[in-house]
Amino acid sequence: MSENLPLDVIIELTDCSIWQQNHLVLSHVNLRVGKGEFIYLVGRVGSGKSSLIKTLNAQLPLKEGIGLVAGYDLSKIKKREVPHLRRKIGIVFQDFQLLTDRTVNENLAFVLKATGWKSKFEIDMRIGEVLEKVGLSLKRYKMPHQLSGGEQQRVVIGRALLNDPEIILADEPTGNLDPETSEGIVRLLTDISRTGRAVIVATHNYTLLKKFTARTIKCDNGEMKDVIDDQEMEFLI
């Protein structure tokens, strides 16, 4: 665990190289993210957005540079520490990855039990809390196929919040959703950032970027840097 970061910094990458197997996708990556910060990550398909998210989650190893995430050093993290890191990170996928043969309640209970929760009362209470936060209190016992795409994505966001993470990583969370539903999802994610969690959203939806303005970082030509103006962003996306 690191004692060098200020309390408000939750992610700090210094001169990092991001690899996907044997392919270098991003080099000289420097990134500093504070608690409660909402950030868009943009760039063309294959530019390194998903690889960066997988590196932050310790799904891909950090081979070069210094990467501090939620107090863990990604370059030195031990295999047994990875589950502890991931409990501090909530992941939101484009394709939901819900268990289709189980209710919303059973999907969320499965995650809590897998991460060490034992008390049925505490599990029920926590599921109720997160479903209220994502506006799905009345959908608790529905099957995934009985929900709209937007509702399923709200379940996924609720699932990401179960263990009260410090960071939310969302990889194209609106990729399969219509414009109105997409706006609701981004509005929900921005609300979550206001509770003190860092939220990073990888997206290529320029309409959302214009409507919900926030710090935007681009991956392009093997490099990553903050977007300076709208014209530059529009050219990239």
Summarised one tens digit per residue, pLDDT across range 92-142 is 987 878 999 999 999 999 999 998 899 999 999 999 999 999 999 999 999
In a domain? residue 140: yes
Judged by DSSP in three states, 57 sits in coil
Distance from chain centroid for Cα 47: 18
In a domain? residue 129: yes
Give yes or no for residue 71 having a pLDDT over 50. Answer: yes
Mean pLDDT of 165-184: 92
Structural domain span for residue 53: 36-58+82-236
Q: Give the pair of three-digit tokens for residue 108.
A: 């969320």
In a domain? residue 50: yes
In a domain? residue 65: no
In a domain? residue 64: no
Work out how many domains the chain is built from and give that number: 1
Question: What CATH number does the domain containing 217 carry?
Answer: 3.40.50.300
Q: What is the pLDDT of residues 197-237, one digit of tens each?
A: 999 999 988 899 989 999 999 999 999 989 866 655 555 44
In a domain? residue 74: no
Q: Which of 32-36, 69-73, 207-211 has the lowest mean pLDDT?
A: 207-211
Q: Give the pair of three-digit tokens for residue 199.
A: 């939220």
Distances (CA, A) of 185 to 36, 101, 139, 213, 229: 17, 24, 17, 14, 24
In a domain? residue 228: yes
In a domain? residue 90: yes
Query: Can you give the pTM of this predicted structure?
Result: 0.90
d(CA 100, CA 226): 39
